[in-house]
Structure 1
Amino acid sequence: MTAKETISFVYVTYIQSTPEKVFEAITRPDLARRYWGHENVSDWKPGSRWEHIRANDDRTVELVGKVVEVTPPKRLVMTWTNASQEADPDSYSRVTFDIEEYEDMVRLTVAHDDLLAGGGMAKGVSKGWPLVLSSLKSFLETGRALDVFAKPKAA
């Protein structure tokens, strides 16, 4: 049996905010909806299920996982997979949010690892995280989020 080849992505951004506000923006469904277009729903206790629910009329559960570690407002670790692949243990990756004070701002590091190399999830998150984190930054600093569903203009 061959071990699966995995890859990781790490994104770092600096946000003019507080650790508490950044942590809340990630974990409160009403805030995540505003900059992510999805709600992150859980009781945020280790071992609990979390769901990433599309904030539209059909409320589609797109991603699911388990909360691995929670240390508000400094760290959140959770597993992550497409809802359609929930039964496949090999489909899960892991996301870690590290939130630290950095003078009068926050340094947010998002590490997404254990991604199947060349897989659809790896391709999706390599484009998705930069946009979501930029939108989070804009939202917390200005009150206005980016359109995370925007598409590139045709040349």
Structure 2
Amino acid sequence: MKPTDLHYEFYVLATPEQVWDTLVSPDGVKAIYGGCVIESTFREGDPIRYIGPGADGDKTIHVYGVILQCEQAKTLSFTHFVGDSYHPGQERYESRITYRLEPAGASTKLTLTHDRWHENDLSYDNSAKAWWMILSSTKTLIETGRPLAF
């Protein structure tokens, strides 16, 4: 059976530009993703990689893909594959991650959809658990200046 789409909506007391900056800036990404950084030009068709401390050392590739859509402070969408250290010897299946930012009064509605899952994708269960933590920490970081401590 094919996994269901993962869909989350959060409201953050910040502008879309502030939320965007946290999602793509080195400091924001490091705080949210345990020391990882994003390597990308953020141009459609170009690669994106989340790299940082992990099973393969300081340059572990956690997630990689290709930018599908990028409109600053509005939309970031990319294909999603997990790095080699997560499921060695297993086929890696493509899914898609899309962040959408919309003004909501003095706040921003942050919507994340992780979809297009393959039924055999071993990363689904971990993603379903991790997104709540990642997005809660993102909201906390933006609003308080400190991420959650897990």
- In the superposition, the TM-score normalised over structure 2's length comes to 0.86
The SS at the match of 1:81 is strand
1:65 to 1:45, Cα distance in 2 relative to 1, 3 A: same
* Counterpart residue type for residue 139 of structure 1: L
1:65 to 1:89, Cα distance in 2 relative to 1, 3 A: farther
Structure 1 counterpart of 2:116:
114
Aligned residues: 143
CA offsets 1:54-98 (integer angstroms, 9 cap, x no match): 24762211110000001111111100001228xx99711000101
The answer (yes or no) to whether the contact 1:12–1:108 under 8 Å persists in 2 is yes
The SS at the match of 1:60 is strand
CA offsets 1:14-64 (integer angstroms, 9 cap, x no match): 000110111111112222101221222211000110101124762211110
The answer (yes or no) to whether the contact 1:63–1:80 under 8 Å persists in 2 is yes
CA–CA separation in structure 1 for the residues paired with 2:68 and 2:131: 20
The answer (yes or no) to whether the contact 2:93–2:121 under 8 Å persists in 1 is no
Higher helix residue share? 1
Structure 1 counterpart of 2:52:
54
Segment of structure 1 superposing worse, 28-37 or 108-117? 28-37
Structure 2 counterpart of 1:124:
126
Structure 2 counterpart of 1:14:
11
CA RMSD between the two structures: 2.1
Structure 1: give runs of 5+ residues left out of the alignment.
Answer: 151-155
- In the superposition, the TM-score normalised over structure 1's length comes to 0.84
Q: Tell whether 2:74 aligns with 1:74.
A: yes
Structure 2: give runs of 5+ residues left out of the alignment.
Answer: none
Give the ranges of 4+ consecutive aligned residues of structure 1 lying more than 4 Å apart after TM superposition.
Answer: none
The SS at the match of 1:59 is strand
1:60 to 1:70, Cα distance in 2 relative to 1, 3 A: same
* Counterpart residue type for residue 19 of structure 1: P
Percent identity, aligned pairs only? 26
